[in-house]
């Protein structure tokens, strides 16, 4: 089984999510849209691979806004098209932060500025704790998604929706993939100043991440298991069979 991991920048690996997917039998094909040297000028040309042969798509986070075409250029249009195609064909998508915002936008929802940023470890109010535990989850975003038509909102915070399900796909606003190493990269690339500007102590964010390391791993793995067993295996909303050529999902989602 093969999973397409869409990394939007060099500093945001699949982390704990990728770790659990490998444990569940997936081979990960990771692409990086914006190379390190273009991190501050992400308007690159990029061609997304065809979906054929993939059993799962995981678009990760990014430090940019889905609807900021002036900054990121045209490549996001290719990603939205890929996510629409995946949904239509019944290929499961696990969207994380920017990836969830892209999934929502692709399916008729939207992205808008949040009333205020969320940065740090925070709980969420969840209607489906067996799929999306209440956390705490690491958050770092200034935008929020508008749940697409026909989707079910599964979790929320005071800022807005935190998770939605549609067909065989799930989008989450938080960062279940986060590790301490990834957070250090994000802090070095600008999150340090953003956190300080909001009155937060970056060292405390790192300390909390270190304290929650094993708990966060268990929770991230549980999220992947719930997604694979409860969402990705469900009947497709379109009635289509999965497009992937390698078989069905085995039985029983950074700054953005």
Phi, psi (rounded to 5 degrees) for 142: -115, -15
Q: Per residue, what are the HEC states of 73-94?
A: CCHHHHHHHHHHHHHHHCCCEE
- Give the pLDDT confidence score for residue 236 in this predicted structure: 59
Inter-residue contact 17 to 253 (CB < 8 Å):
yes
Those residues with Cβ within 8 angstroms of residue 106's Cβ, 6 or more apart along the chain or in another chain: 79, 80, 81, 83, 84, 87
2-178+221-231 maps to CATH 3.40.50.261: no
pLDDT by residue (tens digit) across 90-143? 999 999 999 999 999 999 999 999 999 999 999 999 999 999 999 999 999 999
Q: Which residues belong to the active site?
A: 97, 175, 177
Distance CA(256)–CA(245), nearest Å, equals 32
Per residue in 192-245, pLDDT tens? 999 999 999 999 999 999 999 999 999 999 999 999 999 999 875 443 344 443
Q: Check: pTM over 0.85? Answer yes or no.
A: yes
């Amino acid at each position: 089984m093969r999973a397409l991991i869409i990394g939007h920048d060099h500093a945001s690996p699949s982390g704990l999510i990728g770790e659990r997917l490998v444990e569940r039998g997936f081979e990960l094909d990771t692409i990086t849209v914006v190379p390190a040297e273009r991190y501050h000028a992400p308007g690159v040309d990029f061609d997304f691979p065809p979906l054929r042969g993939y059993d799962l798509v995981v678009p990760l986070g990014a430090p940019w806004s889905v609807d900021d075409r002036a900054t990121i250029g045209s490549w996001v249009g290719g990603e939205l098209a890929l996510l629409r195609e995946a949904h239509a064909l019944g290929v499961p998508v696990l969207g994380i932060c920017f990836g969830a915002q892209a999934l929502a936008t692709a399916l008729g929802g939207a992205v808008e500025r949040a009333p205020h940023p969320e940065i740090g470890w925070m709980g969420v109010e969840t209607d489906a704790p067996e799929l999306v535990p209440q956390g705490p989850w690491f958050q770092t975003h200034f935008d929020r998604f508008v749940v697409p038509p026909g989707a079910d909102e599964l979790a929320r915070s005071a800022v807005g929706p935190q998770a939605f399900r549609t067909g065989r796909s799930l989008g989450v606003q938080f960062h279940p993939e986060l590790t301490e190493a990834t957070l250090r990269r994000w802090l070095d690339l600008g999150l340090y100043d953003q956190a300080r500007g909001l009155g937060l102590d970056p060292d405390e964010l790192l300390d909390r991440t270190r304290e929650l390391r094993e708990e966060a791993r268990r929770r991230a793995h549980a999220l992947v298991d719930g997604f694979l067993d409860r969402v990705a295996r469900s009947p497709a909303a379109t009635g289509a069979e999965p497009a992937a050529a390698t078989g069905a999902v085995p039985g029983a989602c950074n700054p953005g």
